[in-house]
Amino acid sequence: MISTSPIRTRFAPSPTGLLHIGGARTALFNYLFARHHGGQFLLRIEDTDRARSTQEATEVILKGLDWLGLQPDEAPVYQSSREARHAEVARALLEKGLAYRCYASAEELKEMRETAMKEGRPPRYDGRWRDRDPAEAPAGVKPAIRLKAPREGVTEVDDLVQGTVRVGNAEMDDLIILRSDGTPTYLHAVVVDDHDMAITHVIRGDDHLTNTFRQVMIYNAMGWALPRFAHIPLIHGADGAKLSKRHGAVSVLEFEREGYLPEALCNYLLRLGWGHGDAEILSRDEAIALFDLGGVGRAASRMDYAKLTHLNGVWLRQAEDARLARDVMRRLAEEPGLVLDEAAEARIAALMPALKERAKTLVELATSASFLARRLPFSMDGKASVIMTDEARVMLASLAPHLAETDFSAAGVDAALRAFAETSGKKLGQVAQPLRAALTGTTTSPPIDATLATLGRAESLARIAAATAPPSES
Ligand code: GLU
Q: Where in the chain are the domains?
A: 1-73+188-318, 83-186, 319-373, 382-468
Residues of the chain with pLDDT under 50: 1, 3, 473-474
Distance CA 114, CA 105 (A): 14
Tell whether ligand 1 has an atom less than 6 A from the beta carbon of residue 208.
yes
Angle at 360 between CA 358 and CA 365, to 5 degrees: 65
Answer whether 30 contacts ligand 1 (Cβ < 6 A).
no
Q: Is the CB of 12 under 6 A from ligand 1?
A: yes
Quote the ligand 1 centre to 193 CA distance (angstroms): 12
Report whether CATH 3.40.1190.10 matches the domain 83-186. Answer: no
Is-contact 193 237, C-beta < 8 A? no
- CB-facing half-sphere around the CA of 333: CA atoms within 13 A: 8
Q: Is 1 helix (H, G, I), strand (E, B) or coil?
A: coil
At 374, give phi and psi (nearest 5°): -75, 150
Chain centroid offset of residue 441 CA: 36
Sequence length of the chain is 474
Does any ligand 1 atom lie closer than 6 A to the CB of residue 14?
yes
Q: Is the CB of 190 under 6 A from ligand 1?
A: yes
What is the 3-state composition of the chain as percent helix, strand, coil, each rounded to the nearest 5?
50, 10, 35
**Sign of the CA dihedral 328, 333, 337, 338?**
positive
- 12 Cα–ligand 1 center, Å: 5
In this predicted structure, what is the pLDDT of residue 469? 87
What separation in Å is there between the alpha carbon of 155 and the centre of ligand 1? 21
Q: Contact at 8 Å (CB) between 229 and 157?
A: yes
Q: What burial class does residue 75 get, using C-beta atoms within 10 Å of its C-beta: 0-12 exposed, 13-18 middle, 19+ buried?
A: exposed
* Run of H or E residues at 204: strand 201-205
Coil, strand, or helix at residue 94? helix
State the closest ligand 1 atom to the C-alpha of 10, by its place in the atom list counted from 1: 8
Torsions phi, psi of 348, nearest 5?
-60, -45
Residue 64 confidence (pLDDT): 96
Confirm whether 96 is a catalytic residue. no
Task: Specify the pLDDT at position 134.
Answer: 86
The pick from 190, 191, 192 for probing ligand 1's pocket by mutation, whose C-beta has the most ligand atoms within 8 angstroms, reads 190
| pLDDT tens profile 263-317 | 999 999 999 989 888 889 999 999 999 999 999 999 989 999 999 999 999 999 9
Query: Nearest residue CA, atom 7 of ligand 1?
Result: 12
> What is residue 76's three-state secondary structure?
coil
199 in ligand 1 pocket by Cβ < 6 Å?
no
Q: Give domain 382-468's CATH architecture.
A: Orthogonal Bundle (1.10)
CA of 13 to the centre of ligand 1 (A): 5
269 with 312: CB under 8 angstroms? no
Catalytic residue among 142, 245, 426, 427: 245
Is 0.85 surpassed by the pTM of this model?
yes
Give residue 145's pLDDT: 98
Using DSSP's 3-state secondary structure scheme, residue 3 falls into: coil
Closest CA to 48 of 23, 17, 75, 83: 83
C-alpha R_g of the chain: 32
Class level of CATH domain 1-73+188-318: alpha beta
CB of 22 closer than 6 angstroms to any ligand 1 atom: no
Distance 216 CA to ligand 1 centre (A): 15
